Structure 1
């Protein structure tokens, strides 16, 4: 039998001791668990950036994996704590602040973490990752049923989740988040292109060239391409598009399709 898998995504920073404390809590309860870091470098408090990373990473794991995600500027407040079970059966644990928006499609279920038989009372008001979410992730990875955690939540928080708008042969989207290379993920998905060629691209009014891969770009050239996560991205070869062109969340992207 394969060992249970628990993944971790946070904005704590790789140099902090907080992720290690969460892992220790899981291993105390589930010594055979396989622990995987998705990222601890989500920009601080940036729930949308965390949601995009989860969208890219979680589907690459076996469905039996449990994903513990903590980007939680509201820790210790009245915001709910959740377990989300997506339509495919994927399980995610974390705050009810929109972090799980990509997994809340039709058929998804969400449960509040409230039943004291399976949900511990946090020792600290400021570290629910260690005291609440990690123990619940271990419980689920060890075979616990999400329905045992607490009542059903019918309306979990959802982020504004931009999508591409089509106007004839034109797609309009926007930049959402920059990765560590300075490439900007956009709201345009590969599927929005419908396999059609891109004849013209503009990013915040600047002309860009649509390419297949980074290496096709010329030094300093603004590029648009389909990234590995299935979204259109804005890039510069061997540079940061975000830094070179001052691009940030909300920058408009316009693609003219053939």
Structure 2
């Protein structure tokens, strides 16, 4: 029986998530389904990549991950089915796939769409579900669609490095308005080399130590730590860091602006001394 996760930017206000699950159960009542999130911000590829990447890696081998994010950035001609590190990913051909994986997948199959069909969300889910059903029943991956299909690629969002600094972008703001930056603990320590440091954001806010937990500081104080996914997080003990400091997450739309001028409310810089 197939284990399927669902991730989307659809939200829960209308019928669509329920209809998606009903569509999949029509194909195979034995499907087991689990939600990752349906509250991703529309058109925010860095956020979607962060959430999917750090959830997917914790699932059992050969789990199927349906990712319904920005399905219709362009008129779709195919969907993608990728296999990477013993996980299956199914998504639109919009560049998100290699952002999630931070590189190319081990194998990618193109799932062609019927040119005469109405290409709405439920039609796309049905194509994905049919592919999952065939694989779960023993079909070979190379028989499902077009092997080694050409697909859209986008560069995953990376920090900028200097000899004595790292500049990262805010990629996620969680339910508590803690701010997640795309600087990993490994990148931080590689550049730090045992030196002291200053984490600077919103022009003049500074943190000069890494905490282990929120309880390391007093209520209302700011702190920095590495979260369970290994990314730098800026928070306020029992407070709302994003709201208080006016910080925003980095989006696809803001990337061109960022290239022209540094957006101080979407970036965090670490100086090593």
Interval of TM-score (by shorter of Structure 1 and Structure 2): 0.7 to 0.9
Between 1:126-135 and 1:13-22, the stretch displaced more is 126-135
Alpha-carbon offset, residue 102 of structure 1: 2.4
Report the TM-score, using the length of structure 1 for normalisation: 0.84
CA contact (8 A) 2:5 2:66 kept: yes
* Counterparts of residues 182-197 of structure 1 (less than 5 Å): 182-194=177-189, 196=194
- 2:120 maps to 126
The whole-number CA distance in structure 1 between the counterparts of 2:150 and 2:202 is 35
The whole-number CA distance in structure 2 between the counterparts of 1:111 and 1:97 is 14
* Counterparts of residues 102-121 of structure 1 (less than 5 Å): 102-103=100-101, 105=103, 108-114=106-112
Q: Could you give the per-residue CA deviations for residues 156-197 of structure 1, whole angstroms, max 9, x where no partner exists?
A: 323332223332343221212222222222121121123757
> Is 1:254 aligned to residue 269 of structure 2?
yes
2:176 to 158, 171, 181: 181
Alpha-carbon offset, residue 34 of structure 1: 1.6
The whole-number CA distance in structure 2 between the counterparts of 1:131 and 1:257 is 51
The whole-number CA distance in structure 1 between the counterparts of 2:271 and 2:241 is 21
- 2:213 maps to 213
What is the aligned-residue RMSD (CA, Å)? 2.7
CA contact (8 A) 2:160 2:168 kept: yes
CA contact (8 A) 2:82 2:105 kept: no
- 2:259 maps to none
More helix by share: 2
Report the TM-score, using the length of structure 2 for normalisation: 0.80
The whole-number CA distance in structure 1 between the counterparts of 2:119 and 2:223 is 45
Q: Could you give the per-residue CA deviations for residues 137-160 of structure 1, whole angstroms, max 9, x where no partner exists?
A: 343344443322322345532333
Alpha-carbon offset, residue 238 of structure 1: 2.3
The gaps in structure 1 that reach 5 residues or longer are none
> Is 1:226 aligned to residue 220 of structure 2?
no
The whole-number CA distance in structure 1 between the counterparts of 2:133 and 2:179 is 34
- 2:6 maps to 8
Alpha-carbon offset, residue 9 of structure 1: 0.3
Alpha-carbon offset, residue 70 of structure 1: 0.2
The whole-number CA distance in structure 2 between the counterparts of 1:176 and 1:43 is 11
After superposition, the Cα gap between the structure-2 partners of 1:106 and 1:41, relative to the gap in structure 1 and judged at 3 Å, is: closer
- 1:90 maps to 87
Q: Could you give the per-residue CA deviations for residues 89-141 of structure 1, whole angstroms, max 9, x where no partner exists?
A: 31101101122222263562221102xxxx77785422144333333334334
CA contact (8 A) 1:83 1:94 kept: yes
After superposition, the Cα gap between the structure-2 partners of 1:226 and 1:104, relative to the gap in structure 1 and judged at 3 Å, is: closer
The whole-number CA distance in structure 2 between the counterparts of 1:76 and 1:200 is 42
